[in-house]
Amino acid sequence: MTDITPSGASLLVQDARTQKRNRAEARFKMYGLAAIAVGLLMLVILLTTIISRGTGAFQQTYVTLEVPLLEAKLDKKGNRDLADIKKVSTFGYAPLMKAAFEEKVAAAGIETSLKSKQMAALLSKDAAATLRNYVLQDVDVIGQTIEFEFLTNSRVDGYLKGRVSRDSMANDKSINAAQLDLVDALIADGSLRKRFNLDFITGADASDQRPEAAGMGVAMIGSFFMMLVVLALALPIGVAASIYLEEFAPKNWITDIIEVNISNLAAVPSIVFGILGLAVFINYMHLPNSAPLVGGLVLTLMTLPTIIISTRASLKSVPPSIRDAALGVGASKMQSVFHHVLPLAAPGILTGTIIGLAQALGETAPLLLIGMVGFIASNPPDGITSGLMDPNSAMPAQIYEWAKRADPAFYERAWGGIIILLVFLITMNAIAVLLRRRFERRW
Amino acid sequence: MRDNIISEKDVMQNQTAHPAKIAARNVQVYYGDTHAIKDVNVDIEANTVTAFIGPSGCGKSTFLRCINRMNDTIDVCRVEGDIRIDGEDIYDRKVDPVQLRAKVGMVFQKPNPFPKSIYDNVAYGPRIHGLARNKAELDDIVEKALRRGAIWNEVKDRLHAPGTGLSGGQQQRLCIARAVATEPEVLLMDEPCSALDPIATAQVEELIDELRQSYSVVIVTHSMQQAARVSQKTAFFHLGNLVEFGETDKIFTAPEDPRTESYITGRIG
Ligand SMILES: Nc1ncnc2c1ncn2[C@@H]1O[C@H](COP(=O)(O)OP(=O)(O)OP(=O)(O)O)[C@@H](O)[C@H]1O
Ligand SMILES: [Mg+2]
């Protein structure tokens, strides 16, 4: 037996080794904090940029005019026949707008050298169409004088948002100083103002000349239908495949290969799925171009591995004793899975599915290849079939499309679109987190 | 009292008429290349408690799991030989293990109630086997099973509370109730008391003694005292071999094999 000699060191004094260890620990904590700080800084920069650039898109400049809906111009026969009234194109409405603008300027007592045509040029190219749609909806308004809020064009809007200034105007042919004077006067009069623009969230895309009228609404519907396809296909297929692989399949080299390949699929760049979709769904199966159905199919391919991997992980996390218990009382394999294992794994499966959907929602590259970008100014689809089969865009593709266009007003809308997309993604991820919290570890 | 005596007699007669409820012949179990059970022959009688004892890793659980084919769920596990219940080969290709397990219930070492209500835990087996025609019948079955599990008084007021919210000992008794609810003929128990305190253990042991009236019970235990208290027959396993099998009294007082003797006196294990 050897004596255990006390070292004699006091506990109140740290020895050299302890000091060294403590320093290493402190250093490591510093690295960690620094890493988190950098991450947070990036996030703050990202969010402030997006918000500062994007919020403008949710506001739009409108001018209030009183438009006399002259029967002589809109319904020459005077019998309120819709077919006849439809024959009047937006050009037919232009004189009404001009007159209304002149009237407004006179009523407000504004001195201006502008002709009525130049005044009306301040309006959006969409204004006449808005008025026409309004009349076509209810032909009985013909003959009355109605007050209407019209979109102004993107230059006026830019002027109010500080994007267009009197200096930058010098080499811009579409607006001049006199027009801006008129805008200032109308602002002072209170008839021209910037307000929240719901159409940006609900409306359709608009052509190059009318950025002020463009909205995300239809692209959102496109995304919605794609997600519907993804959910309807990827969830059942993914869950069935996972249950089979995890609970029923024998463990041998074939299942090993399948497993490796599923992991590989999760790592395949999404554009590869895009070109696959182009080759198989469009060129071979002749499904329509740019259809959310095709987009959804492609995104399903992309989302499947994510769902399979997360489903298998949550099936694995159900303790085997639960399976034993079920088998022990004489449940069949399938009963043990469907009555006991699956309900316990469900929150995990849902979380994985939502995260997979969120990924798919933000995916752009494969949509480029199947033609879901480009100008699609269709109205919202009327029904599920048309929602699936009619050409449409998707939120991220719409953002890409806007960012590509020349007019800075579209650029602003791209940022605005990103805000909408982020709201969706954050909501979905929050739901996933909540689900996980709510149902975590019930056994 | 008188009735009891008579029924005991009947039991004895029955035993002589049908000597073995479970008959195992030349059973070999392999986990991959590991030979876990070597050539085991054993006859387990009806209305008897049979205890399996032996050092850790000797194959008690493995052999127990052969009797209700739970080993089927382990991919690498291979069972050879012949196990008969009431003369029927349970490894016959025509036998559906699911049907077998309804007849041979099992209680596991770790209490494993379903994360459902106490009621649903017990009702699950009868439900899937269609033992009850209506809710009232099911209620009866559940109550009876919980009473036999010696847990009815503790849970009768909270049948719809989750079974996982019970204490460890209560959970184990709930699992026993769940196992008896399907009216099995054989009850396998793998160290059912290892998670229980002495009081709960005493309750479970009492319960086992009662269950013997209607079932044949096989219990794996690490406690010699428990084996001596509850069982009529004892089997001593060592390194995959069945070393000695016989009347419990005899095994504990006059073991034939030196290995049995060293184990029960605490020299190997
Ligand atoms: N699933 C398995 N895969 C591989 N080998 C196993 C498996 N289960 C058990 N074994 C092996 O089989 C042998 C017997 O195991 P078993 O669980 O039957 O022992 P036991 O007697 O029940 O022990 P304990 O008293 O510790 O529970 C051991 O050597 C063990 O390593
Ligand atoms: Mg064991």
pLDDT at B229: 92
Angle, helices A177-189/A154-161, rounded to nearest 10 degrees? 70
Alpha-carbon gap, residue A417 to A420, rounded angstroms: 5
Mapped onto helix, strand or coil, the DSSP state of residue A283 is helix
- Nearest chain A residue (CA) to B124: A329
Query: Integer distance in angstroms from the first to the last C-alpha of chain B?
Result: 42
Contacting residues of A for B125, CB less than 8 Å apart: 329-331
Tokens (6 digits) for B47: 């209305």
Q: Which residues of chain B neighbour A331 with C-beta distances below 8 Å?
A: 98, 124-125, 128
What is the whole-number distance in angstroms between the Cα of residue A410 and the centre of ligand 2?
71
Q: Mark yes or no for CB contact A325/B113 under 8 Å.
A: yes
Number of H helices, E strands in chain B: 11, 10
pLDDT over 60 (residue B6): no
Per-residue pLDDT for B17 more than 50? Answer: no
CB A49 within 8 A of CB A410: no
List chain B residues with CB under 8 Å of A322. Answer: 112, 114-115
Question: B100 vs A101, A338, A426, B40, B78, CA distance in Å?
Answer: 90, 21, 51, 21, 18
Largest CA distance in chain A: 123
Residue B171, domain member (yes or no): yes
Burial A166-200, CB ≥16 within 10 A → b, else e: eeebeeeeebeeebbbbbebbbebebbbbeebebb
B186 CA to centre of ligand 2 in angstroms: 18
| Cβ-based burial of B254 (10 A; exposed 0-12, middle 13-18, buried ≥19) | exposed
Alpha carbons A396 and A418: distance in angstroms, whole number: 8
What would the two tokens of residue A62 be? 């409108």
Which residue of A lies nearest to B107 if distances are taken between CA atoms? Answer: A328
Instruction: Give the residue from chain A lying closest to B189, CA to CA.
Output: A328
Contact in structure between A323 and A340 (CB atoms under 8 Å): yes
Q: Which of B65, B101, B176 to mutate to test the interface with A (most CBs of A within 10 A)?
A: B101
The one-letter amino acid at A301: L
Q: CA A333 to CA A336: how far, in whole Å?
A: 5
pLDDT single digits (tens) B104-143: 999 998 899 999 999 999 999 999 999 889 999 999 999 9
Q: Which pair of structure tokens corresponds to residue A352?
A: 């994985």
Residues of B in contact with A326 (CB under 8 A): 114, 124
- Cβ contacts (< 8 Å) between B181 and chain A: which residues? 329
Q: Describe chain A by its helix, strand, coil percentages, rounded to 5.
A: 70, 5, 25
Looking from the CA of residue B60, the nearest atom of ligand 1 is: 21
| Ligand 1 atom 12, closest CA | B36
d(C-alpha A198, C-alpha A55), whole Å:
13
Tokens 């037996």 locate to A1
How far off is chain A from B43, nearest CA to CA, in Å? 22
Nearest by CB: B114 against A322, A327, A330: A322
Q: How far apart are the first and last CA of chain A?
A: 51
Ligand 1: which atom is nearest the Cα of residue B76?
Answer: 3
Q: pLDDT value at position A115? A: 84
pLDDT at A179: 86
pLDDT in tens, B20-42: 889 999 999 999 999 999 999 99
How confident is the model at residue A11, as a pLDDT? 84
Nearest residue (CA) to ligand 1, atom 22: B61
d(C-alpha A228, C-alpha A360), whole Å: 11
Q: Which two tokens stand for residue A399?
A: 């953002």
What CA–CA distances, in Å, run from A365 to A291, A368, A406, B224, B258? Answer: 15, 5, 21, 70, 76
Ligand 1 centroid vs B61 CA: distance in angstroms? 7
Q: What is the C-alpha to C-alpha distance for residues B90 and B99, in angstroms, rounded to an integer?
A: 10
From A323, A330, A339, residue closest to B102, measured CB to CB: A330
Domain ranges (residues) in chain A: 57-196, 217-439
Q: How far is the CA of B170 from the centre of ligand 2 (A)?
A: 21
Measured distance CA(A131)–CA(B19) in Å, rounded: 98
B112 closest CB neighbour out of A324, A335, A344: A324
pLDDT tens-digit map of B60-99? 999 999 999 999 888 889 999 999 999 899 999 999 988 8
Question: What's the Cα-to-Cα distance from A301 to each of A308, A335, A372, rounded to whole Å?
Answer: 11, 30, 17
Ligand 1 atom nearest the C-alpha of B52 is 21
- Cβ-contact A303, A231 below 8 angstroms: no
Cβ atoms within 10 Å, residue B81: 16
List of residues 6+ apart from B235 with CB closer than 8 A:
B42, B50, B51, B52, B53, B242, B244, B245
Question: Which of A391, A351, A400, A346 is CA-nearest to residue A371?
Answer: A391
CA A279/CA A294 separation, integer angstroms: 11
Q: How many Å apart are CA A24 and CA A103, to the nearest integer?
A: 79
Q: Nearest-5° angle of CA A396, CA A400, CA A402?
A: 115
SS3 B241: strand
Residues with CB under 6 A from ligand 1: B 31, 34, 36, 54, 56-62, 74, 76
Compute, in angstroms, the gap from residue B36 CA to the centroid of ligand 2: 12
| Range of the structural domain that residue B152 is part of | 8-264
Tokens 């022959």 -> residue? B41
Residue B103 contacts residue B85 (beta carbons within 8 Å) = yes
Report d(CA A122, CA B78) in Å as an integer.
86
DSSP states of B62-85 as a string?
Answer: HHHHHHTTGGGGSTTEEEEEEEEE
- Compute the count of residue pairs across chains A and B with CB atoms less than 8 Å apart: 67
Query: How many separate domains does chain B show?
Result: 1
Q: Please judge whether A331 and B98 are an interchain contact, meaning their C-beta atoms are less than 8 angstroms apart.
A: yes
Q: What is the pLDDT of residue A20?
A: 94
pLDDT band (50, 70, 90) for residue B4: very low
Residue matched to tokens 């050539």: B39
CATH number at residue B241: 3.40.50.300
Q: How far apart are CA A391 and CA A364, in angstroms?
A: 16
Of the candidates A225, A361, A221, A244, the one whose C-alpha atom is nearest the C-alpha of residue A303 is A361
User: Is the residue at B145 inside a domain?
Assistant: yes
Decide: residue B113, CB within 10 A, 0-12 exposed, 13-18 middle, 19+ buried: buried
Residue type, A24: A
Asked if the structure places residue B1 within a domain, the reply is no
pLDDT tens string B174-185:
999 999 999 899
Contact B115 A344 (CB under 8 A): yes
Q: Give the nearest ligand 1 atom to B55 CA.
A: 25
With CA atoms as reference, the chain A residue closest to B65 would be: A328
Chain B residues in contact with A324 (beta carbon < 8 A): 70, 73, 108, 112
Question: How many CB atoms are located within 10 Å of the residue B78 CB?
Answer: 13
Using alpha carbons, select from B72, B73, B78, B69 the residue that is nearest to residue B36: B78
Distance of alpha carbon A348 from alpha carbon A148, whole angstroms: 52
Yes or no: say if B194 and B109 are a contact pair by the CB < 8 Å rule.
Answer: yes
Rounded to two decimals, the ipTM of the complex is 0.85
- Which residue has the CA at smallest separation from atom 30 of ligand 1? B57
Q: Could you give the 3-state DSSP secondary structure of residue B29?
A: strand
Q: Which pLDDT value is given to residue A83? A: 82
CATH architecture of A217-439: Orthogonal Bundle (1.10)
* Nearest-10 crossing angle of helices A90-108, A177-189: 70
| Token pair in block for residue B48 | 């008897």
3-state secondary structure of A7: coil
Residues of chain B that touch chain A, judged by Cβ-Cβ distance less than 8 Å: 68, 70, 73, 75, 98-99, 101-103, 105-108, 110, 112-115, 124-125, 128-129, 164, 175, 178-179, 181-182
Q: Which residues of chain A have pLDDT under 70?
A: 1-7, 374-378, 440-443
User: Residue type for B40, please?
Assistant: V
Q: Say whether B164 and A443 touch across the interface (CB within 8 A).
A: yes
Nearest chain A Cα to B165, which residue? A443
- Burial label, A288 (beta-carbon count in 10 A; 0-12, 13-18, 19+): middle
Q: Which residues of B touch A319 (CB under 8 A)?
A: 112
Q: Which atom of ligand 1 is nearest to the CA of B62?
A: 18
Q: Which residue is it, tokens 């307000």?
A: A195
Q: CA of B114: which chain A residue's CA is closest?
A: A322
